[in-house]
Structure 1
Amino acid sequence: MKNDVGAEKPLVNSASPIPLPRKDTPSSGLQQRWNTKNIGLRLGADLTSAACAASIMENASGRNTLANSLRASFRTLLVRPHAVLFSKPVALIFMLYGGTYWTANTLDTVTSTALDKPAMHVTTGTAKFAASSAANVGLCVYKDQVFVKMFGPGGPPRPVPVPSYVLFTLRDCLTIFASFNVPPLLGPVLNERMGTKLQKKVSGTTIAQFAAPAAVQLFSTPVHLLGLDMYNRPGTGGLVSWRDRWMQVRKNWAISAVARICRIVPAFGLGGTVNTKVRRNLMERLA
């Protein structure tokens, strides 16, 4: 039997009868696809949604009591509105929360680009937790340093001891994890257990976005109080025992947890919901 002239023979290994792929044949496993469609506009959408969330969270700065803050804010807003909108404290709060959300949003966009995911893709892993925590803690330390100089007593401020820094960092990491990582994971679980009628009114992700940051304050508040106590009572020479510190933490636990929940829910509950919905709507238009 004759072979057809010009017919290509499969490349074979002399040690194996299995045909080998031709060198000019692309291997799907080696191809790297990037979703770069409208990447510039998508990064702009990340910034826009973070700015919207930061505008909500600026009102949760907690720099004053609610009554005094409302009176002073309304008075200044009526007489000198530009002094409020363009003041340094507002800019610092906007920088803190806007920077935190922008970091999380940008990480989602970079991940969706590198892994060829839809523009609306939201990550929930370690990278998002690490990036968001680093941004929040770093910006918060800078904001607190400026606030101490602006509103603190005269003279150089007393340095914060290392244990207090560690406890404050742990406090912020707990809140960041509950605000950025938990809602995307818990939301679908709640949706599965909610009725269709209830889902039309509120989604499981929205419930998780409000509930998770609030619930974690029950655990982060004692960490916060212990850090404050170690700053206010350094206990040089072992004068302050751990039992005394625990009594101080337990004494203020409940009222401080309520106060922190009232501050965190607008900041990371409402702010997180605004950020998520604005980003999703913008990304859907760019997809």
Structure 2
Amino acid sequence: MKSPDEAPIATAPNPSPATLEPPILTPRWNTKNLRWRLAADLAAATAAGALIAPVISIIDRRLTTVRSSIMENASGRSSVASSIRSSLRAILATPRSSALLSRPSALILLLYAGTYFTANALDTFSSTVLHPDRPASAVSSGAGKFAASSVANIALCIYKDRAFVRMFSGPSGAAPRPLPLPCYALFTLRDCITIFASFNVPPLLAPYVDARLADDVRRRLSGQTAAQFLAPAAVQFVSTPLHLLGLELYNRPGRPPLVSWSDRWRVVRSNWLVSTAARICRIVPAFGVGGVVNLKARHALMQRLE
């Protein structure tokens, strides 16, 4: 009699290749409603651009006509306040020129809708490829978003400025001379700082603002909304000197000893506060109001698609 240890071991027959079921592959990318998510990106960006375009065109049309009130202030031709007053009078005298369907407003719409759409699309790309396990409405990309939105904003801004110069330069006025390369570099750095503060800083700053808001205030104003207004405005204290230095190099070309750097910095310091205030008045509608509208509209649309 065989012991239990000596009993034969039953083996299951090997399944044939025909009976093997293919493994279930988990998709690496989150492509759910991808077309509709991109449509939501465009819709939110367009809504933000359409809201702020008439206001920004009121500022930019007159500012471009006179090479901007800030440039006038830096060159000593007029004050910021007087140029803004004349701008408002000119626009109110011809209100149809500030309508959304006018070409100046359409150019502003293209500039900011294009910038916001680029930032939104980078967030959608990040939620699709890099973070497919997270809700699309909760993903905010970092360095890629900053780089792409900066390139889009600068390229569209150059196109808008050239179109404004052609539209609003007087028939007897001489065409402005090209910007020197150092001016382009300073203006590009200025815009990159503003873009970073408008798109990348608010999501990082929002938790700290929320933690310091009182409960009754937090019910009416979120930290994200407050940061969206504060960050672009506050960074103008840093970027405005770059802007003024670029204008100074444009208005008074020449190297030392023809124009000393100490003299240039004296002009920058004397115009810093008033020019910062003027730039804040332009940036807050563009990236404060526009940023909040874009963020909230995109978040609401994405939540419906998730």
Instruction: Check whether TM > 0.5.
Output: yes
> Aligned partners of 1:182, 1:202: CA distance in 2, in Å?
18
Alpha carbons 2:30, 2:127 under 8 Å: kept: yes
Partner SS, residue 2 of structure 1? coil
Task: Render the CA deviation track for 1:204-225: whole Å, top value 9, x for unaligned.
Answer: 0111000000100000000000
Answering whether residue 68 of structure 2 is matched by residue 73 of structure 1, we say: no
Q: Which amino acid aligns with 1:93?
A: I
Q: Report what 2:8 is aligned to.
A: 2
Q: Is 1:60 the equivalent of 2:56?
A: yes
Q: Percent identity?
A: 55
Equivalent in the alignment of 1:197: 216
1:105 to 120, 135, 149: 120
Distance 1:95 1:195, change over 3 A: same
Task: Supply the AA of the counterpart residue of 1:125.
Answer: G
Letter in 2 for 1:142: Y
What pairs with 1:222-237 in structure 2 (closer than 5 Å)?
222-235=241-254
Q: What residue number does 1:185 align with?
A: 204
Query: What is the Cα deviation at residue 197 of structure 1?
Result: 2.5
Contact 1:226 1:245 in 2 (8 A): yes
CA shift at 1:4, angstroms? 2.3
Q: 1:176 to 1:237 in 2, by over 3 A?
A: same
Task: Name the CA distance, whole Å, in 1 between partners of 2:181 and 2:210.
Answer: 43
Once the 2 structures are TM-superposed, how far is the Cα of residue 3 of structure 1 from its aligned partner?
Answer: 2.8
Q: 2:32 aligns with which of 37, 56, 69?
A: 37
Aligned counterparts of 1:83 and 1:125: Cα–Cα separation in 2:
35
Tell me the equivalent position of 1:255: 274
- Partner residue, 1:84: 99
The superposition leaves residues 20-39 of structure 1 with CA deviations (integer Å, 9 ceiling, x where unpaired) of xxxx767x8xx552222221
In 2, the alpha carbon distance for the partners of 1:214 and 1:156 equals 32
- State the Cα deviation string for residues 245-270 of structure 1 (Å, max 9, x = none): 10110110010000001110111111
Q: Deviations over 1:63-89 (max 9, x none)?
A: 234444444434433xxx488332221
Matches for 1:148-163 after TM superposition, within 5 Å: 148-152=165-169, 154-163=173-182
Q: Aligned-pair distance for 1:130?
A: 0.2
Structure 1 counterpart of 2:270, one-letter code:
K
User: What letter is aligned with 2:137?
Assistant: M
**Bigger mean CA deviation after superposition, 82-91 or 135-144:** 82-91
Q: Provide the rounded CA distance (Å) in 2 between the counterparts of 1:208 and 1:283.
A: 21
| Secondary structure at 1:120 match in 2 | helix
The alignment yields a C-alpha RMSD, in angstroms, of 2.4
Alignment coverage as a number of residue pairs: 269
Q: Spell out, residue by residue over 1:130-149, the C-alpha distance to the aligned partner (whole angstroms, 9 max, x if none).
A: 00100011111111122222
| Cross-structure match for 2:298 | 279
Cα separation, 1, equivalents of 2:271 and 2:263: 13
- The equivalent residue for 1:169 is 188
CA contact under 8 A between 2:122 and 2:141: conserved in structure 1?
Answer: no
Question: CA separation in 1, counterparts of 2:41 and 2:197?
Answer: 20
Matching residue of 1:127: 144
Residue deviations 1:223-257 (CA, integer Å, cap 9, x gap): 00000111111115741111111011011001000
What is the CA distance between 1:119 and its match in structure 2?
A: 2.2
Compute the displacement of 1:189 (Å): 2.2
Report the 3-state secondary structure (helix = DSSP H, G, I; strand = E; otherwise coil) of the residue aligned with 1:6.
coil
Report the counterpart of residue 65 of structure 2 in structure 1.
Answer: none
In structure 2, how many angstroms separate the alpha carbons of the residues matched to 1:183 and 1:165? 27
Aligned to 2:156: 139
Counterparts of 1:51 and 1:76 in 2: how far apart (Å)?
Answer: 25
Q: Contact 1:124/1:182 (CA < 8 Å) preserved in 2?
A: no
What is the alpha-carbon distance in structure 1 between the residues aligned to residue 280 and residue 295 of structure 2? 20
Could you tell me how far apart the structure 2 residues matched to 1:235 and 1:202 are? 49
